Amino acid sequence: MTATVPIDRRMGVLASALNTFARFGYRKTSMEEIARAAQISRPGLYFLFDSKEQLFRAAVAQALEEDVVEVERVMAEQAVPLRDRLLHSFDRWAGRYVGPMTRDIQAVIDENPGLLGDLIDLYPRRFAKSIARAIVGPDGDALTQTLISVSIGIKHQVDEREQYRERFAVALDLLLR
Amino acid sequence: MTATVPIDRRMGVLASALNTFARFGYRKTSMEEIARAAQISRPGLYFLFDSKEQLFRAAVAQALEEDVVEVERVMAEQAVPLRDRLLHSFDRWAGRYVGPMTRDIQAVIDENPGLLGDLIDLYPRRFAKSIARAIVGPDGDALTQTLISVSIGIKHQVDEREQYRERFAVALDLLLR
DNA sequence: ACTTTACAAATCTCGATTTGTTTGTATAGT
DNA sequence: ACTATACAAACAAATCGAGATTTGTAAAGT
């Protein structure tokens, strides 16, 4: 049972664990390295997380959770223009994981299917719902769908976050009338 | 020298060769299998094409050429609505290569970089130019760019050609005012 | 609520050898 | 303008065993 452990202790470990997984991939990352990066002993790491697999799941889940919570927060801010809210949200959700360093996170994730269970379906759906809710009008769902497709396409075309932002902004301005 | 060989003989072989490459991948496809599929002897295959590598290049090049020529033809037909011309062209260019069977063609192509040289850059550019030329107005290039991103994104989301068509049509109608 | 040290069991790494497959060419034949 | 057969050289795949690495747990300590 890890539930008795202070939550904030784990969060820092999760962040550096995800980093390490991203750098070397799931297989080639040892618990030793994660522990070192988190400035903790390896048995101490096992005290916080039952297994390497569970640690990986938790690390990815935390990242997804933080991203989607941020998206939900931003999309709810009625004061700022829809266009800016969308750009910020998509950049956070997808643009963040573009580039030589952060791209590997995505690679690790889909090189290890089954390791993550429903997370891979659940969070994207939650993201989509959060976007769709903010877009009013009859074309709301179609627009959301298309924005997501554009985002995925751009991610496969570029390799720098800035390029992602630029291209997505162009698409956004075309799609928002 | 293969230049003395009748061209139409080769074309049929190229089509079935691409099929075979798509089914098994470049490495796991033997000249034996290609020859069998093309109803020709293996030495006969070597009479038509100097090497496996050259055969692969020629097969991909033929497919790309046919696709892009069809796109150029359709986009030039001023009589039919732009929306329909675009849908047809993108479906031919990208939708064709969606699905469990044809998807592997794409896989083979980008699992074997270097095998194809410039083809991979040249044809997509030619396709883009053909699209951009037909879209008038100040947002022409931006629209083209975005349509291509949408197309790539959808290709990564769906696994049936019909789904590709539907989603792309939705995006198209949103982007064309 | 951790650390250090220690350890068995599972897993990965690797080089070496072998075995089987494939390529590309040749040759003789139709 | 091919086919059938045959063949050397290159290449890939499968096997294997020795050695190292890694996982997960335990125990004793602070």
Q: What pLDDT does B141 receive?
A: 97
If interface means Cβ-Cβ distance under 8 Å, which residues of chain A face chain B?
Answer: 139, 142-143, 145-146, 148-154, 156-157, 167, 170-171, 173-175
Confidence class for position B103, pLDDT limits 50, 70, 90: low
Give the residue from A155, A164, A174 with the most B CB atoms within 10 Å of its CB, the best one to mutate. Answer: A174
Domains of chain A: 7-175 (1.10.357.10)
Q: What is the dihedral of CA A74, A77, A79, A85, to 10 degrees?
A: 30
**Which tens digits make up the pLDDT trace of B68-91?**
999 999 999 999 999 999 999 999
Q: What is the pLDDT of residue B3?
A: 42
Interface contacts A/B by beta carbons within 8 Å: 67
Token couple for B30: 């033997």
CA of B164 to C1' of D5 (A): 49
First and final CA of chain A: distance in angstroms? 53
Q: Which of B150, B152, B141, B149 is nearest to B169 (CA)?
A: B150
Distance B100 CA to C10 C1' (A): 36
Of A79-83, A117-121, B100-104, which gets the smallest average pLDDT?
B100-104
**Which residues have CB atoms below 7 Å from chain D, the nucleic strand?**
A 29-32, 42-43, 46, 50-53; B 4-6, 9, 27-28, 40-44, 47-48
How far is Cα A53 from Cα A42, in angstroms, rounded to an integer?
15
Q: Are A42 and A32 in contact (CB under 8 A)?
A: yes
Contacts for A162 with CB less than 8 Å, ≥ 6 apart: none
State both tokens at A52.
Answer: 């390497």
Read off the pLDDT band of B101 (50, 70, 90). low
- Nearest nucleotide over every DNA/RNA strand to the A45 CA, judged by C1': C2
User: Which chain A positions have a beta carbon within 8 Å of B153's beta carbon?
Assistant: 148-154, 156
Give CA–CA dist A148/B97, Å, rounded.
21
Interval B2-52: pLDDT, tens: 344 566 789 999 999 999 999 998 999 999 999 999 999 999 999 999 999
Three-class SS of chain A: CCCCCCHHHHHHHHHHHHHHHHHHCCCCCCHHHHHHHCCCCHHHHHHHCCCHHHHHHHHHHHHHHHHHHHHHHHHCCCCCCHHHHHHHHHHHHCHHHCCCCCHHHHHHHHHCCCCCCCHHHHHHHHHHHHHHHHCCCCCHHHHHHHHHHHHHHHHHHCCCHHHHHHHHHHHHHHHCC
Are B34 and B16 a contacting pair, CB within 8 Å?
A: yes
Quote the pLDDT of residue B145: 98
Query: Which of B146, B154, B157 is closest, CB to CB, to A174?
Result: B146
- Give the closest residue to A49 by CA, choosing from A63, A35, A36, A37: A35
Residue A176 amino acid letter: L
- HSE-CB at B82 with a 13 A cutoff on CA atoms is 16
Report helix, strand or coil for B55. Answer: helix
Structure tokens at A121: 């379906």
Report CB contact under 8 Å: B152, A156: yes
Count of beta carbons in the 10 Å neighbourhood of residue A136: 8
- Reply yes or no on whether the pLDDT at A3 is more than 50: no
Nearest to B146 among A143, A148, A171 (CB): A171
Mark out chain B residues that contact chain A at CB-CB < 8 A: 139, 142-143, 145-146, 148-154, 156-157, 167, 170-171, 173-175
Structure tokens at A76: 């709810």
CB contact under 8 A, A156 and B156: yes
